[in-house]
Structure 1
Amino acid sequence: MEFGQVPKQIFTHPHPRRMTGPPPALSSLDVCWRGIENLAVSAELPCHKSAVTSLCLSPDGRLVASVSYDCTLKIHNTVSATRERSVSLSSLPLTAVMMLHEGATVLAASMDSTLIVYDVECGRIVESVRGHEDAVSCLAWIAPSLLLTGSWDCCVRVWRLRKPLTAIKPASDLIAQLDHDARITALATNRLYTLLATGTTEGDVFLWSLKSFSIVKNLPGHKESVNGIDFSPDGTRLVTCSDDRTLKVFDLCTGTVVFSKCLVQKLKCLVWDGKTLLVGGAQGNIYLWDLVNVNLVKEFQAHTGAVLCICASDDGGVVITGGEDKKVKIWR
């Protein structure tokens, strides 16, 4: 199937009536962050020499990995706020990071187009391979073996990796390439791993099938770069934020925008549980939104300069932010 074609059938249920009001309430099965409106800084880690570009928590929330324009990976204990690893992984800035295998393995992406596998326990790089023709900008992992990489070469690549991750072979491990017309800036998968959402520097937002690797929907995106994108836990909605200062919530059955808000600063990152949304801004603010009642709960200064990345534990008990001010902050 060629780029731009829509498969004959993706959804087996009729499309619901278009919604113009607030997003629908979520089911009791969805994750709920309790007490997140009371977040306060528990530790401040001045750990990098340049802007922090990406963060990732280990599944148990005990470790946080951060990467930076300073080309280094840092791993900290979120409980003791102590450093456990510090290593230079590349000669060019690092752009994205993920923790795999219960935190035992870190996968990082670089502006030199490489994917780097770091063994945390052994404290060494075990693989470095050129994954794209330009900078690798974002990553996603589908256990047990699928890796998705987005790049400035205007494509998303899907890889099927083998254990151990010490011999990535592009010729045999690359199983799909999803071409776009602009640089990829953000990507996310739903929890069933059936759908992929991608965002570009031109503001495009696409929904892809991870079964056929074809476009499901071209959503009404943004006017500038999409910097954050994520699915609700139940997979019915998608949230995005952009340099055009807007955040949007899409109903994925209809492909329509059910909520849109323009704020006063460019929006650089987001994380949500389907109900509560945290958005980081270019002027250092974090916005806390209740997307059930559609209201801004709280706005506070988190960093000096842009909040470039944010992540949270499943229960919302730990939130980590990284900024243009070179700092990583732990919030509880």
Structure 2
Amino acid sequence: MRILIAPDKFAGTMTAAEAADAIADGWRRARPEDETDALPLADGGPGFIDVLEAAIPTAARRTVNACDPLGRPVEADYLRDGDTAYIESAATCGLHLLNPHERDPRRATTYGLGLVIAAAIENGARRIVVGLGGSATNDAGAGMLTALGYTCRDRAGDALPYGGAALASCDSIDGQPRTRGVEFIAATDVDSPLLGPHGATRMFGPQKGAEESDLPFLESALANFAEIAERDLGPGGAAAWPGAGAAGGLGMALFILGGKRASGAKLTCEAVGLDAAVAASDLVITGEGSFDAQSLRGKLAAEVATGAAAHGKPCLVLAGRSDVDSHPDLAGVHSVTALVGGVEAAMKAPVEGLRALAESVARTWNYTRE
């Protein structure tokens, strides 16, 4: 059999390439006669420009000075191909840039992302594709907008401090963005709106360090900022658009700049030629660190599964952990935690655990049965 292995990253433990290698190694241990093809993928979060760089031979990396979610200096890369710049928001806003005790969406800012965008524009980019995902922020892109020329003010007319908590005091937004009429694309890993049970705060705030008691305040702060932003900048209703809640509300900020949404998963899958690779395979394996309800809202694993189903090819998910037992487009869902007996054991040796899971699945996989 020819096995296509096309996973996303396993956040906090493995890159997509490392996960693909672990799955391939485990599969070959059980079925050395099978041919394995590795195709690491991304959906807008960490690894976004790595995948695109490998797929676009004419693209080149550029490095700029920026800052992390707490304002500390950091170097960030973006990818330039012709007049298009591909930027990974996680390079400056990523949760992986903070130690666990530093994670606090009340303080975290997207200002660094704005610095990278500004540098790309000044370097001649006319189209900016921003991969959204893996962020530590919940500031609705206010920091990014500030770096690009806007000023968010309180009732006294003073500029707001950075972070999601400060949005509660926002009373007006003024200024002229230094965007030179560029086209913005928000490449999102989710289709969440800004507010509500599936929005930026309620769905993603806890994983960014927000306490349960913080959520109502942060939600209210986002709602206030959205009202002011739509009043002073437009377009009206942007907070409810699919993808507005991506990366702590960065989606909405890009919509304010005139941006349009695109699926980060579809964008990268098209760039690497996933469709042709699926067509040439007998079995498709994808995966990510946590396969759950969020995974079915535009993330990579769901996109791969849909592509496999379109070609009538079975698709398996191998995940670190999973809250989803089945899906119409999947032939099976398997997790490292179920194999090794829990999250703690899985985190101790993630590569070895994923390799062992792939080997176990390969030994029991039967095309006619699944």
Larger CA Rg, structure 1 vs 2: 2
TM-score, reference length from structure 2: 0.27
**Higher-strand-fraction structure:** 1
Where relative contact order (Cα < 8 A, 6+ residues apart) is larger, the structure is: 2
* Structure showing the higher helix proportion among its residues: 2
